[in-house]
Amino acid sequence: MMFFRHPDKLGSPPLLNKRLNRNILVTAASLFVTAIFLWNRHRLKQTSVPELPRNQSWLEPDEVNKTYDFPTTSDFQPVTLRLDNKTAQELCATFPRHKLSRIQPVLKIGYSENRDKVESQLDSVSACFSKDDLIIISDSEETLRGHTVIDVLAYLPDTYRKGPDTSKFQQYLLQKELKENGTLALDKEAAKKIDGWALDKYKFLPGIERAWALKPNREFYVFYESDTYIFWDNMFRLLDTLDPDTALYMGSPSPGRIDGRRLQGTLFANGGPGYVLSRGAMKKLLHRRVGVNGRYIDAPFSERFRHLAHDDECCGDSILGFAAWELGIVLQGFYPLFTPYVLTSLPFDEKHWCQPLVTMHKVATKDMVKLWEWEFEHRKHGQPLMYSDLWQFYRPGQVSIRENWNNEAHGSFEPPAQRRVDSPQKCQQQCHEDLECMQWVWKGRDRNTCHLMHTIHHGESKEAHEEDGKWIDYRSGWETERIDQWRSSRLCDAADWVGPSLKRIF
């Protein structure tokens, strides 16, 4: 460190002006900061990349089991309605259309996907939207029941079409060519050349741009897919509790790509159960800086993050999640309100029983309209539909044994432990002796394993089949009396709305 003599002491030293003193101090400070930075960078290189983000400064507090009793009411009128062979138009007369001036639904489909899925979506979750209410985005332009389906890929710049890293996008150009010359619908072999899944990831970023361009300044934008089920009453209730001008990106969290610069794992909202972007988030995603000459400094949103679509990233929802992360928008994880569980695998247990359910993924085509009609008969004015209400749709546990049935949760995050037993009767006995066991499944023939579960699931039909060279058949059972006692002792006086969390199991 340098010291300067006072002029009244030690004779007549050279006088240093104030600017020189200031420059020396700034230089010293810069060297100090640089040294700290280099030391931290060296230390981070020694640290392994975390599989999932755990930085609690993102969401403070991030309390896994914290719930809130928000007083909410339904805007459906009447709230509950007996079906009595009512038409879809009569059911939709109860829908609160005024909500659509604030909340914009955006449905994403694909030209090559199963049309039965799309039709069931338009017959249920999206049935009450007029052509002016609903935005439908796809990889090809068409008209569905009066709705104009927007080809969002047509709005992407030529940088997506040309260059060494655009080979996968050529699928879109081929599809467009086949459709224009009339062979796409007639030539099945030509149609097989189109990989709709490969095109899907390109729709997410331009979809956000088009949603804002067509319906700007909506408070919330709800993005969903053809096999997404949305309980609109619950969605409206949830969004009524939130500030639209805060940058909110909400959904069911899934592990995303690693941020190599920050050595940090990231999360994205799974597109299957759908995700919501607030007005504040949309503005932040689409914002472009302007220079002194009035020209934009930044490229458009879809161009700015084009490299993510052209690399090996599998999915568009992951691309969107990373783009949001790069722009400072961190996912708000609202599992289990947004759940990746399918309808037949919904978990009915202590953790979920009194929690509202907002969206689901992969609802079977045959169940979409059934569930939509069921919903009209079960809404309540002062409470949202909860997991406990959804139990009534299938009523799992009312039948003690099902043959050729697997009641394990499809895609379960916590698969049950396996035990070797040689008969379904012994499997049933083991469940009965375990006082926390609610149901069991025996996988027989060549496997002979028993799976005990402390959670109630409905499950699905499962015929005997060969797996890894072994034949397996299925028999499932439930502890019906135990389930009845458990249900009767757990009444939901109020809904347990969860706050955002990136630690809650998803």
Q: pLDDT confidence of 35, banded at 50, 70, 90? A: very low
pLDDT at 261: 80
| DSSP label at residue 149 | E
* Spacing of C-alpha 48 from chain mean position: 27
The number of beta carbons lying within 10 Å of the beta carbon of residue 473 is 17
d(CA 472, CA 465) in angstroms, rounded, equals: 6
Question: What is the residue extent of each domain of the chain?
Answer: 67-339, 400-496
Which range of 25-34, 36-45, 71-80, 165-174 scores highest in mean pLDDT? It is: 71-80
Lowest mean pLDDT among 6-20, 233-247, 312-326, 367-381: 6-20
Task: Mark 179-189 as b/e (b = at least 16 C-beta within 10 Å).
Answer: beeeebeeeee
Query: What would the pLDDT profile of 264-302 be if each residue is shown by its tens digit?
Result: 788 999 999 999 999 999 999 999 999 999 999 999 999
Calculate mean pLDDT across residues 255-269: 84
Three-state DSSP state, 54 = coil
Q: Pairing mode, if any, of strands 220-225 and 103-108?
A: parallel
- Tell me the fold of 67-339: Spore Coat Polysaccharide Biosynthesis Protein SpsA; Chain A (3.90.550)
d(CA 277, CA 271) in angstroms, rounded, equals: 12
d(CA 473, CA 272) in angstroms, rounded, equals: 30
More confident residue, 153 or 195: 153
% the chain with pLDDT above 90: 65
Is-contact 406 460, C-beta < 8 A? yes
Calculate mean pLDDT across residues 372-399: 96
pLDDT surpassing 90 at residue 37: no
Look up tokens 């956000």; give the residue: 208
Is-contact 335 227, C-beta < 8 A? no
Pick the CATH number of 400-496 from 3.30.70, 3.50.4, 1.10.10, 1.10.4160: 3.50.4
134 contacts: CB under 8 Å, gap ≥ 6? 105, 106, 107, 126, 147
- For 398-427, the three-class secondary structure string (H helix, E strand, C coil) is CCCEEECEECCCCCCCCCCCEEECCCHHHH
Calculate mean pLDDT across residues 157-174: 82
Query: What would the pLDDT profile of 304-335 be if each residue is shown by its tens digit?
Result: 999 888 777 789 999 999 999 999 998 999 99
pLDDT surpassing 80 at residue 22: no
Q: Global pTM?
A: 0.85
